[in-house]
Chain A
Amino acid sequence: MCYIGQHLAELLGREPRKPDNEEIAPQAQEIHFYKKGQVFDAKAAAEEHQRLKSNKWRNIRWATLLAVNLLFVLSYSLDIQLLEGALTASRFAGFHMADLNSALQVMLAFKEVLINLLIGTVTVFILWFFLGGRTFCSWVCPYHLVAELAEKLHLKLVEKKIIKGIDFHRGTRTAFYVIFAVLTLASGYTVFESVSPTGILSRAIIYGPGLALIWVGVLLLFEVVASRRAWCRYVCPIGMTYGFVGAASPLRIRYNLVNCQHEGECRKVCLVPHVLDTVIKGRARDVEVPIGADCTRCGLCVDVCPSGSLRYEFKFGGGARVTATEQP
C-alpha cells in the first residue's frame, strides 16, 4: 500500500524523487544496470515514433467525452430523460449522481445533507473508484477537451519561440483546495462554483451560452500564452478530489521497464508529467510500476509509446511489488 502514500504526496504537490538503490527491486536494478551500457540512438527512436504513432486512445476518449456531454444535451432537448441535469448533479436513468466536488461544496456551504445528494455522491464515488478517479478529467470533463486544444496551440507557440511557457508550484492546487473549502465553509456560498469552468461549460452546452463563457475564454487564453494546462495542473479542486478517490483504483496506466528506451516522448505529451517520473532512466523501482493518482488515464502516453511500455491495466491490489525500505 505504500506506493499509494507516495502517490498521494505527489498529488498534493511533492516533487517525485529519484529512488535510492535499496528502494529498487533487484530485478529492476539488473535492468537498469544492463541499460546503462546501451547507447541511445535518438534518430532511430524518432523514426520509430513516426512509424508507430497512433491516436487510438485519444480518439476513443474524445468520442466518449463528446458522447457523455451530448447525452446531457439530447436528454434535455429531445426530452428522452436518460441523463438529466448537468455535470454538477444529474440523474442517469433515474439514479442520482452528484459530482463529488460540487456535492462537497454544497455540504460545506449548506451544512446539511439531503439523502438524495448523499445517494448521488455514493453512486459517483463507487463509479470513479473503479474507473479510476481522474478518469473523469480526461474522459468526461468538457474543459479538459478545450484545454487540450489550447495546449496544442501553446506548444506550437513555444516551439516557434514566440512565447516562453511559465510553470507554477504544483502545491498551489493544494493551497487552492484548502482556501476554497475554508471560504465556502465561512461564507456559506459555493465559492468555487462561480469560477469552475467545468460547471460553466457543462451548463453552457446544455442550457445555452452566457457571459460566464468569457471567464472560460480568459482561462484558455492564459493557458495558450502563459502556462501550459495551468487550470488542470495548478488549480482545479475537482481533479484533486477525484485523484484521492481513485488513488487505489483498479484501472490505471501501468509502466513496464523492460523495453522502455527512456527517450521521454510520453512525458512530453502528458498533462501531469510528474506521474511519469518513473520512466526516466534509472528511476523505476520495479519492473512493473503503476502510474500515480494524479494521472488522468488519458492514454496519450500509451498512444505515443513505440515500445509498448505504457499500457492500460485493470487489476486489483498494488500491482507492483514494493520494497520494504520504501518510505512515503
Chain B
Amino acid sequence: MSKKDKPTEMLPVSRKRAQQARRRFLRSVALTVGVVGMAALGYMPVARGWKPRLRPPGALLEQEFLAACIKCGQCVQVCPVEAIFLDDLDQGFGVGAPYIHARDQACDFSCDGLQCVLACPTGALTHEISYPHEVDIGIARLDRPDKCLALLGKGFKGKVRGPEFTGKFRYIEVDRWNPVAVRSQDFDREVCDLCVVHCPIEIRADQCEAGKPPSGDPNQCPPKRAIGLEPVDSGDGMARFMPVVYDGCVGCGACEMVCPTEPAAIVIDMASVLKS
C-alpha cells in the first residue's frame, strides 16, 4: 500500500476487475446456454412423436395445437367425465397440454355442448365447432380382429372391463344428465356389440331416426353413421359379425373404452397423424 501512487501497482487491481467481469460474462453465457438448452430439449419428444396423443375435441392439428394452447387446463376442469389430463415433462413442448387416454376414460359427450371447446381461451380447441359430430379427435380402427368377440362369434355377459374399472359413461336411459360408472351396468349380449351401442354418434343417430333428436334439436343429428356390425361369412356356419367404422366416426374413444377384450380389439388412431 505504501507504493500505491505508482501506476504499475494499480494495474493488478483493474486487471483483477477485468478478469472478474470476464468471468461473470462467461458464467452468464454458460447460464444462458444451459437454460436455453434445457428448453430446447423439449423439442425432442415433439419432433420424434414419441407418443402421439389424442387431443380433446376441437383440437387443431398437433403443431398448431401446441402453439396455441396456453396450458391452463380449463378444458380439464369442465369435463364431466374427467376425460382430459395434462401432459408431463416427458412430452417436451407438450408439457401442460391436454390429452385424452381413451382406454381409461373416453370422451362420451356427456357435457352435450362441447364444454371443453367453450372453455378454451385461446382457440387451441377451435370454437368453430358446436356439435359432437363435428369433432375430429381421431378415427376408430379394428386393431385386433383376432380378439374381437363379435368376429369370433361370441357374446358378452357381465360387467364390461370388470368391477374395478373406473371409467364413466352417460347411459341416457339410466340418467339423462349424469354419467355413471361403467361397472354399474350388467350386460348380456348374444353377440358382442358393445362398441356399437356405446358409440355416442350412433346413439344420437338412432335417436334422430326415431324422430327424437337430443334436446329436440335437429342440429344434433349426425349426418353420417360412425360404426356398425356387419355380418361376415367365413363359411363355417358360425354367425360372425365385424365392427366396421364409417366416415361419421369422430374418434371419441367410447368404443375403445368399453371393448371387453384385453387389450382392446378396437382402438383410436390420432387424427392429425392420419392427416399429415
Which residues of A are in contact with B by a Cβ distance under 8 Å?
75-76, 84-86, 88-91, 96, 98-99, 102-103, 105-106, 109-112, 114, 116-117, 120, 166-169, 171-172, 175-176, 179-180, 183, 187-195, 199-200, 203, 206-207, 210-212, 214-215, 230, 234-235
Least Cβ–Cβ distance between B186 and chain A, in angstroms: 30
Asked if residues B28 and A106 are in contact (CB atoms below 8 Å), the reply is no
Asked if residues B70 and A112 are in contact (CB atoms below 8 Å), the reply is no
Which chain A residue has the least Cβ–Cβ distance from B66?
A189
- Among A88, A172, A179, A188, the residue within 8 A (CB) of B63 is A188
Q: Which residues of A contact B92 (CB under 8 A)?
A: 194
Question: Looking at the complex, which of B37-45, B165-173, B225-233, B257-265 is the stretch in contact with chain A?
Answer: B37-45
B35 CB-CB contact with A under 8 Å: yes
B68 CB-CB contact with A under 8 Å: yes
Asked if residues B31 and A85 are in contact (CB atoms below 8 Å), the reply is no
Q: Which residues of A contact B86 (CB under 8 A)?
A: 203, 207
- Among B28, B38, B70, B76, the residue within 8 A (CB) of A117 is B70
Asked if residues A180 and B121 are in contact (CB atoms below 8 Å), the reply is no
Q: Complex: how many Å from CA A188 to CA B68?
A: 9
Q: Complex: how many Å from CA A200 to CA B74?
A: 15
- Among B28, B63, B73, B74, the residue within 8 A (CB) of A234 is B28
Q: Which residues of A contact B66 (CB under 8 A)?
A: 109, 188-190
Asked if residues A215 and B77 are in contact (CB atoms below 8 Å), the reply is no
Asked if residues A169 and B28 are in contact (CB atoms below 8 Å), the reply is yes
Q: Which residues of B contact A187 (CB under 8 A)?
A: 43
Asked if residues B28 and A191 are in contact (CB atoms below 8 Å), the reply is no
B32 CB-CB contact with A under 8 Å: yes
Asked if residues A214 and B24 are in contact (CB atoms below 8 Å), the reply is no
B112 CB-CB contact with A under 8 Å: no
Q: Which residues of A contact B90 (CB under 8 A)?
A: 211
Asked if residues B67 and A90 are in contact (CB atoms below 8 Å), the reply is no
B213 CB-CB contact with A under 8 Å: no
Q: Which residues of B contact A190 (CB under 8 A)?
A: 66-67, 69-71, 93
- Of the A-B pairs whose beta carbons lie under 8 Å apart in the complex, a sample of 10, sorted by A's number, is A84-B74, A84-B119, A88-B72, A102-B70, A110-B64, A111-B67, A114-B121, A117-B121, A175-B28, A191-B93
Q: Which residues of A contact B40 (CB under 8 A)?
A: 183, 191
B174 CB-CB contact with A under 8 Å: no
B95 CB-CB contact with A under 8 Å: yes
Interface size classification for chain B: 35 or more
Q: Which residues of B contact A210 (CB under 8 A)?
A: 88-89
Q: Which residues of A contact B74 (CB under 8 A)?
A: 84-85, 89-91
Q: Complex: how many Å from CA A207 to CA B75?
A: 12
Going nearest first, the 5 A-B pairs with the smallest beta carbon separation are A194-B42, A109-B67, A89-B72, A114-B123, A210-B88
Q: Complex: how many Å from CA A167 to CA B78?
A: 45
Which chain A residue has the least Cβ–Cβ distance from B31?
A168
- Among B24, B35, B70, B71, the residue within 8 A (CB) of A169 is B24
Asked if residues A199 and B121 are in contact (CB atoms below 8 Å), the reply is no
- Among A96, A214, A234, the residue within 8 A (CB) of B121 is A96
Q: Which residues of A contact B39 (CB under 8 A)?
A: 180, 183, 191-192, 194-195
B212 CB-CB contact with A under 8 Å: no
Q: Which residues of A contact B127 (CB under 8 A)?
A: 114
- Among B38, B73, B89, B119, the residue within 8 A (CB) of A86 is B73
Asked if residues A179 and B32 are in contact (CB atoms below 8 Å), the reply is yes
B46 CB-CB contact with A under 8 Å: yes
Q: Complex: how many Å from CA A86 to CA B70?
A: 10
Least Cβ–Cβ distance between A166 and chain B, in angstroms: 6
Which chain B residue has the least Cβ–Cβ distance from A90?
B72
Q: Which residues of B contact A200 (CB under 8 A)?
A: 95-96
Restricting to B192-209, which residues have a CB under 8 Å from any CB of A?
none
Asked if residues A84 and B42 are in contact (CB atoms below 8 Å), the reply is no
Q: Complex: how many Å from CA A91 to CA B39?
A: 28
Asked if residues B27 and A166 are in contact (CB atoms below 8 Å), the reply is yes
B36 CB-CB contact with A under 8 Å: yes
Which chain B residue has the least Cβ–Cβ distance from A231?
B35
Q: Complex: how many Å from CA A192 to CA B35?
A: 10
Asked if residues B32 and A175 are in contact (CB atoms below 8 Å), the reply is yes
Which chain A residue has the least Cβ–Cβ distance from B76?
A207
